[in-house]
Chains A and B, each alone.
Chain A
Amino acid sequence: MPTFIKRILGLVIIVALLVGVNAWMSRDGLFGFGLPFYYAELLNLTGISIILAVSLNLITGFTGQFSIGHAGFMAVGAYSSVFMTVYYSQAVERALTGIVGATAAQALVFLGIILFGALIAALAGLLVGIPSLRLRGDYLAIVTLGFAEIIRIIILNIDRVGGATGFRGAVAPWEGRPIIPQYANFVWIGGFAVITIVVVYNIVRSDVGRALISIREDELAAEAMGVNTTRYKVIAFVISSAFAGIAGALFGHYRQFLHTNDFQFIRSIEILIMIVLGGMGSITGAVLGAIVITILPELLRKLPGNLIEYRLVIYSALLIVIMLTRPQGVMGAREFGIPWLKRSQKQPEGDKPAGEKGVPIAQQPSSQEVQK
Chain B
Amino acid sequence: MDTFVQQLINGLNVGAIYALIALGYTMVYGILRLINFAHGDVYMVGAFAGFYIALYAGLAVGGPSMISLMVVLLGAMIIAAIVGMIIERFAYRPVRKYSRMTTLIMAIGVSLLIENIFVAQIGATPRAFPDFLGSQSQMPYRLFGNAAISKAQIVIFLVSIALMLLLQWVVFKTKVGTAMRAVSFNLNSAKLMGINTDAIISLTFAIGSALAAAGGVLTAQYNPNIDPLMGILTGLKAFVAAVLGGIGNIPGAVLGGLLIGAAETFVVGYGQNIGIASTYRDAVAFAILILVLLLRPSGLLGSTVQEKV
Partner of B286, one of A149, A164, A320, A358: A149
A319 contacts across to B, CB distance below 8 A: 105, 108-109, 112-113
B120 within 8 A of A: yes
Q: B289 and A316: CB pair below 8 A?
A: no
Contact with B along A301-337 (1 / 0, CB 8 A): 0000000011011011101100110011000000000
Interface SS of chain A: helix, strand, loop or mixed? helix
Select A146's contact among B104, B108, B116, B240, beta carbons within 8 Å. B240
- Given the interface contacts A149-B286, A265-B236, A316-B112, does A131 sit within 8 Å of B106 by beta carbon? no
Closest B residue, CB atoms, query A275: B101
Residues of B93-142 at the interface with A, using a CB-CB cut-off of 8 Å, are: 94-95, 98-102, 104-106, 108-110, 112-113, 116-117, 119-120
- Please count the residue pairs between chain A and chain B whose beta carbons lie under 8 angstroms apart in the complex: 119
List chain B residues, Cβ under 8 A from A164.
279
- Stretch from B168-176, B184-192, B290-298 forming part of the interface with A: B290-298
Q: Among the listed stretches A115-123, A152-160, A199-207, which one makes contact with chain B, having 4 or more residues with CB under 8 Å of it?
A: A152-160
State A139–B29 Cα separation when bound (angstroms).
12
Cα A324 to Cα B98 in complex, Å, equals 10
B244 to chain A, nearest CB (A): 10
Closest Cβ of chain A to B89, distance in Å, is 13
Q: How far is the CB of B53 from chain A (nearest CB, A)?
A: 24
Q: Shortest Cβ distance from A272 into chain B, in angstroms?
A: 7
Which chain B residues lie closer than 8 Å to A145 at the CB level? 236, 286
With contacts A146-B289, A276-B101 taken as known, whether A309 is within 8 angstroms of B33 at the C-beta atoms is no
Knowing A132-B290, A149-B282, the reply to whether A320 touches B236 (Cβ < 8 A) is no
- A-chain residues with CB within 8 Å of residue B99 when the two chains form the complex: 327-328, 358
Residues of A within 8 A of B (CB): 60, 66, 131-132, 134-135, 137-139, 141-143, 145-147, 149-150, 153-154, 156-157, 164, 220-221, 224, 265-266, 269, 272-273, 276, 280, 309-310, 312-313, 315-317, 319-320, 323-324, 327-328, 358
Given contact pairs A135-B297, A280-B101, a sample of 20 additional A-B residue pairs in the complex whose CB atoms are under 8 Å apart: A138-B100, A141-B104, A142-B239, A142-B243, A153-B279, A156-B279, A220-B307, A266-B232, A310-B120, A316-B113, A317-B113, A319-B112, A320-B106, A323-B105, A323-B106, A324-B94, A327-B99, A328-B99, A328-B102, A358-B99
